[in-house]
Amino acid sequence: MALYSEKLMDHFRHPRNVGSIENADGVGEVGNAKCGDIMKIYLKINNNVVEDAKFETFGCGSAIASSSMATELIKGKPLGEVKQLTNKAVAEALDGMPPHKMHCSVLAEEAILAALKDYSERTGNAV
């Protein structure tokens, strides 16, 4: 069995939603000091739905793929659903990842939650 799934490799080689959103409604940035990965997620929210999501990630292929997949999973979704996204769901959507790379999917979950918290603080809207 290959170390990385084809889907994970595809999201690494052809990441979706790369970049930033000017005047984003919520921005979350998290990092893992041990591996050096840094992930920043930008959200555009309209009527409590994630209208757009983009990311900037400095890190390994698994971190980039996790960011890419996480943004794909939350676009068009209501905030209540976005808040429920787990690192396990991100990893499963990528057809799995090696155990020593699972922290990358955790970063994606944490970055999204940080962006939702930022949105809440900016707008006063509870998420």
- Confidence (pLDDT) at 70: 98
- Confidence (pLDDT) at 32: 83
For the chain, which residues score pLDDT lower than 70? 1
47 three-class SS: coil
Active site annotation includes 60: no
- Confidence (pLDDT) at 35: 80
pLDDT in tens, 77-89: 999 999 999 999 9
Which are the contacts of 29, defined by CB distance < 8 A and separation ≥ 6?
38, 39, 40, 41, 111, 114
* Active-site position among 9, 18, 35, 49: 35
78 three-class SS: strand
CATH of domain 6-122: 3.90.1010.10
Instruction: Give Cα separations from 98 to 18, 86, 95, 104 (angstroms).
Output: 23, 17, 10, 10
- Confidence (pLDDT) at 126: 84
Which tokens is 13 given?
């080689």
